[in-house]
A and B are shown apart, each in its own frame.
Chain A
Amino acid sequence: MDLGLIAQHVVNGLMMGLIYALVAVGFTLFFGVLDIIKFSHGDVLTWGVFSALTVYIGLDIIGLHAPWLTLIIVTVVSMALIGALGALIAKVLILPLRKAPPLNVLLITLMLGTVLRESIRLFYPDGANPKRFPALLPDWSHTWGNFTLRFDNTVMLITGIALIVLVQVLIKRTKLGMAIRAVSQDEETARIMGINFNMVVFITFAIGSALAAYAGVTYGLYYNELSFNMGLLLGAIGFSAAAVGGFGNIYGAIVGGFLFAALQTIGAAALPFASAYKDVFAFGVVIMIMAFKPSGLLGEKETERV
């Protein structure tokens, strides 16, 4: 096996792992705070990258052509917009349904995901066809033998991981993070302690959704392509990553994301004749893991009170 090819696979795996981890962290935050699975998360990601594309087109029209600045604006604006969308979803759909059976929330968010997805397909100009995402990072690269290390991938990896670390720090070290953790543990006690439950929920959803938007932009920059249904599979993968790591556990989500990507890479390398099988392989292994360790690799948070 040629080292250059292996290194290529590794970089690819790392990129996908990063994207999955970002999505998975969102899922796990939502589960942690409200014990719910928000199945529209993948399609929120799609809205994230489409809004980024729209902002880019807007900037392009008004004549801004500085790639670095454009990139920053596009990313920040889409994260903010989608963060707001996440909070709005929490306010309108999720919070009112808190007392309903959890299956109802799963269903409603799944249907919401369909609404989001179909809205793009039907209402975005030429929404049904895949679109090109602009390459906003310079394409410098350095080649060693068979392996090409691209600058843009490196930047994305580093910033992505930095963002995850930032979220970690936020959760573990700040007052807001403590409030989020308190609410995850026990809503009633948190309320009694004076924590504004609703506000914490909105902020958590905003953070999770903003992360999804960032993941979407990363995906767009990496693959240079976006389509209206990209969020479906990404959402399912993010969900399984969070599940296999252990719901409610941020480290678990990160591990799960990279694990899934690793499995896909192994699957693709071992079965080069059809890329579809890599997903089957990865999902299959993840399901097997959950069969043996139902609460996930790093442990799920306890939820039931008898």
Chain B
Amino acid sequence: MNIQQRSKSSFIPALAAVILGAVYMVFFLAAESELEVFGLLLGAGVVLLILRKMGVLDKIGRGASDNSMAFGACVAVAAAAISLYFYDDNFVLFLIGSVLAYTLTCLGLNIQFGFVGVVNFAGASFFGVGCYTAAILTKHTATPHLLILVLGGLAAAALGFLILVPVLKTRGHYAALVTIAFALLFKTFLEVNDTLGGPQGLKCDGLHILGWDFNTDIIIGSFEGSFYLGYIAVILVLCVLGFVFARRMEESWIGLNMDAVRLDETVSACFGLSIPTWKVAAFTVGNFYCGLAGAFYAMMLGYIAPTNFTFGDSLILLSIVILGGLGSSWGAVAATGIIILLPEKFQMLQEYRFLIFAALVIGILLFRPQGLLPRTLRSFAPLRSRQG
């Protein structure tokens, strides 16, 4: 049997893209006026169109997927480099940290929605569960902070399990209902509960790992860097781990089973898959991501309040997942950056962001439902690499 193996595409175009992208991000983040930002966006749009026409985008894509580990490493290094460039700009660094936290959250939502097909309309609420777990545990216990991060994830996962299990045997829209109800009631529940800080919210301690207080600026020799650099290091590591975990899951029997459940429950059942098991597995893992990100965010911000966890915020997270491309991990990364950073640079967008992003999602669902960076077909590449 003759199977042609396409030779590996060159990594050079992809590497160049990462480097140029990093430089672009530096300019973008440093831009002061809205005119500058608009110009940058226009420029990027034109360049991307030209590259697409020339087929270069395809080359970049293939180079990236054939050398996925190298590509991932380069992107992570680029993120670190960008952060180091802004070493004493607290505002930009906090923004980068937030974007990474939301990226982790959306990677989790991607597993729930993109892999197994369970829509979670309460992503922001599960994020909030992680936040409140961290706030309570740091203020009232001596639990080590790394463990608190994990506990934040577990709390969200456990709560998600509780609300999903009753509706597992029902149609898909009941899972939607349950998460919508949770999203709507979570904020109200927090506001009427004074033990959880009520409408004012709660303070949260900063991260302390092995005696190092992350809230102190980093001084090495003549280098004085913002304390946010430490936080970024942590969330970058968490993001990378979360990304790799999600991709591994996708390129394995687990990913196959989840896709099958999403695409056709009857057929899946006829071939032995337990539908509830896979839905619960994906939902729980996804919520763990949300809670973990939330716990981190609370410690980085130092303070949390119920107003961050509204239904509208959950819808924005979903918009990110849809914009990026359902089930696409790289899509989630790219889309998080776009949707979180743009309103920061265009202040007037902030007020209109719910409206604009809702309209954007409608547009995508109507005209390009596969999203910006559509999910690629499962090729089991990591398992095939050693085949003769």
Question: Which positions in A face B, CB cutoff 8 Å?
Answer: 37, 93, 96-97, 100, 102-104, 106-108, 110-112, 114-115, 118-119, 122, 232-233, 236, 239-240, 243, 274, 276-277, 279-280, 283, 287-288, 290-291, 294, 304, 306
Q: How far is the CA of A239 from the CA of B181 in the complex (A)?
A: 10
Contact with A along B108-148 (1 / 0, CB 8 A): 00000000010101000000000000000000000000000
- Given the interface contacts A37-B173, A106-B176, A111-B362, does A118 sit within 8 Å of B354 by beta carbon? yes
Contact of B119 among A96, A100, A103, A291 (CB under 8 A): A103
Contact of B173 among A102, A108, A288, A306 (CB under 8 A): A102
- B366-A108 in contact (CB<8A): yes
Looking at chain A's contact residues, the main secondary structure is: helix
Q: How far is the CA of A279 from the CA of B174 in the complex (A)?
A: 17
What are 16 pairs between A and B in contact, CB < 8 Å? A103-B117, A107-B119, A111-B315, A111-B319, A111-B359, A111-B362, A114-B312, A118-B355, A119-B355, A233-B184, A274-B192, A280-B185, A287-B163, A287-B166, A294-B169, A294-B174
Q: How far is the CA of A34 from the CA of B355 in the complex (A)?
A: 27
- Contacts of B358 on A, CB cut-off 8 Å? 111-112, 114-115, 118
- B369-A115 in contact (CB<8A): no
- Contacts of B315 on A, CB cut-off 8 Å? 110-111, 114
Q: How far is the CA of A37 from the CA of B173 in the complex (A)?
A: 8
Question: Which positions in B face A, CB cutoff 8 Å?
Answer: 117, 119, 121, 163, 165-167, 169-174, 176-178, 180-181, 184-185, 188-189, 191-192, 266, 311-312, 315, 318-319, 322, 351-352, 354-355, 358-359, 361-362, 365-366, 369
- B180-A236 in contact (CB<8A): yes
Interchain nearest-CB distance for A199 vs B (Å): 23
Kindly count the residue-residue contacts between A and B in the assembled complex, taking CB atoms under 8 Å apart.
107
Contact of B188 among A104, A279, A304 (CB under 8 A): A279
- B365-A108 in contact (CB<8A): yes
Interchain nearest-CB distance for A155 vs B (Å): 31
Q: How far is the CA of A41 from the CA of B172 in the complex (A)?
A: 19
Interchain nearest-CB distance for A63 vs B (Å): 36
Contact of A291 among B167, B354, B361 (CB under 8 A): B167
Q: How far is the CA of A110 from the CA of B361 in the complex (A)?
A: 10
- A236-B366 in contact (CB<8A): no
Q: How far is the CA of A15 from the CA of B188 in the complex (A)?
A: 23
Q: How far is the CA of A152 from the CA of B359 in the complex (A)?
A: 40
Nearest residue, chain A, Cβ from B119: A103
Q: How far is the CA of A239 from the CA of B178 in the complex (A)?
A: 11
Interchain nearest-CB distance for A83 vs B (Å): 22
Q: How far is the CA of A185 from the CA of B185 in the complex (A)?
A: 36
Interchain nearest-CB distance for A125 vs B (Å): 16
Interchain nearest-CB distance for B273 vs A (Å): 16
